[in-house]
Structure 1
Amino acid sequence: MIKLHYHPSPNPLKVALYLEEAGLPYEVIPVDTRKGEQHAPSFRAINPNGKTPALVDGDATVFDSNAILLYLAEKTGQFLPPDTPAARAQMYSWLMFVATGIGPYCGQAVHFKFFAPEPKAYAVNRYTFEAERHWGIVNDHLAGKQWMLGDTYTLVDMAVWGWARMIPRVMGEAGLAAMPNVKRHLEAINARPAAQRAEALKERFSFKQEMDDEAKRAMFPQNARLAPTAY
């Protein structure tokens, strides 16, 4: 059976959505990042990057959420665009756009807004601006389209959904309202039973909520280079 190493954050949720949409049986293995479980040797053996998610499917081990989406789509033949060079080019382009733009800039915006020590005004401005810019590109792209690749719901929509849920935290409550096409896309996926089941996974497990010194050491190990007051 497929094993999904999971935390209730955007990247693992993309994968959970795909598994639910595809109807694949899978086992959820929780990884509590605020307790540092992502740094355990047993997890690093699966994902040397020490980030959730990771997926084990028999002899196959896959890490990076978009790589997992591609692996599952190729394995099942589900939620792929038409098998033409043009359609595949769009799929790869938008998947990489999420992987290299949407995810990193949204993640850094949240980090500097809520967790980084002062001074941080420059970093907050830079990463929030870039998150807004990237989402603006998605919003423009979705104009006149039901889904990211046109009329067909694909793994690209799932990749976008994982991070679109976080827009209010990244850009404030007005952020989503300013992007009506992204908002429509998000609400359409939220209404799907598979998305509701993926969201409900977090209720099955108890994850640490406190951002105490233990959590900061686990999530921001770079601060070990700084004075102890960095924690």
Structure 2
Amino acid sequence: MLRLYTFQPSPNALKVRFALAELGVPYEPVEVNLLRGEHQNEAFSALNPHRKVPVLVDGALVLRESAAILAYLGDARGGALWPAAPAARAEALQWLFFDAANFGYAGRLWWADVLTPRTGRTGPLAGPALVEQIATDVGRALSVLEAHLSSRQYLLGDDFSLADCGVGVMVNLLRGTRVDTPDKLPAVTAYRERIRARPGWGAAGGAAIEVP
């Protein structure tokens, strides 16, 4: 059985849990509580020297990056949720790379705009100027996504794919932040709601990053 090292509030770990739920693939979850520093212990560091979740273990294979894990699950077990044709597969990978390149720092925006005002807990160090620059960069990426989704339901067309497990999680993470502008991003907002309505979202624990 697959083993997944995860942490419920981690958006990157949620991407993989979401994919596994949509695929109906059983796995053994191992919770690594980042707030208690469990990612710093030697056993976990041996699996991932970067000391981050998620980590997927499949026999002798250890994968440490959410985009790589999603692509692997697609190739190994994706079925209808992952394209087989090279061109279509490249398009799916393109969106996973888009996610990694453009939404990698969206978590800092979520901390600044959502979590800190609600809990007082400060996140990764990021001054106001840096957070504003992140917001500008993320907003630009959302505009690209808005144009793409204006003519389709999901990233690869009208059918859900594992690529949506990456981008869909990050779009949901941005709910309640300064870039959450439904009037300017109606297609992205509708896409976000479609993601949240999927059975796999609840099964994967999507509520951990949702704004009440």
When normalised by structure 2's length, the TM-score is 0.85
Over residues 73-99 of structure 1, what are the superposed CA-to-partner deviations in whole Å (9 max), with x where a residue is unaligned?
A: 1111321124132x1221121110101
Distance 1:117 1:51 in 2: 14
Distance 1:146 1:117 in 2: 34
Aligned: 1:81 with 2:83: yes
Distance change >3 Å, CA 94–CA 200, structure 1 → 2: closer
Distance 2:125 2:102 in 1: 25
CA contact (8 A) 1:139 1:181 kept: yes
Distance 1:27 1:153 in 2: 25
The residue that corresponds to 1:190 in the other structure is 196
Alignment partner of 2:175: what SS? helix
Structure 1 residue 24, shift from structure 2 partner? 0.8
CA contact (8 A) 1:109 1:131 kept: no
Structure 1 residue 184, shift from structure 2 partner? 1.1
The residue that corresponds to 1:205 in the other structure is none
Alignment partner of 2:105: what SS? helix
Distance 2:165 2:37 in 1: 27
The residue that corresponds to 1:150 in the other structure is 157
RMSD across aligned C-alpha pairs, in angstroms?
2.3
Distance 1:69 1:117 in 2: 26
CA contact (8 A) 1:3 1:55 kept: yes
Distance change >3 Å, CA 119–CA 70, structure 1 → 2: closer
Which 5+ residue runs of structure 1 have no aligned equivalent? Answer: 203-231
Distance 1:146 1:70 in 2: 21
Counterpart mapping for 1:93-112 below 5 A: 93-102=94-103, 104-110=104-110
Paired residue type of 1:10: P
Distance change >3 Å, CA 153–CA 29, structure 1 → 2: same
The residue that corresponds to 2:167 in the other structure is 160
Distance 2:7 2:124 in 1: 25
Paired residue type of 2:197: A
Distance 1:6 1:93 in 2: 25
Aligned: 1:124 with 2:131: yes
Alignment partner of 2:152: what SS? coil
Structure 1 residue 111, shift from structure 2 partner? 5.1
The residue that corresponds to 2:33 in the other structure is 32
Paired residue type of 2:151: G
Distance 2:126 2:52 in 1: 27
Distance change >3 Å, CA 128–CA 33, structure 1 → 2: same
CA contact (8 A) 1:81 1:149 kept: no
Distance change >3 Å, CA 69–CA 117, structure 1 → 2: closer
Q: How many residues matched?
A: 199
Structure 1 residue 176, shift from structure 2 partner? 4.3
State the structure with more CA Rg: 1
Which 5+ residue runs of structure 2 have no aligned equivalent? Answer: 117-121
Distance change >3 Å, CA 177–CA 10, structure 1 → 2: farther
Structure 1 residue 10, shift from structure 2 partner? 0.9
The residue that corresponds to 1:221 in the other structure is none
151-160 or 76-85, which moves further after superposition? Answer: 76-85
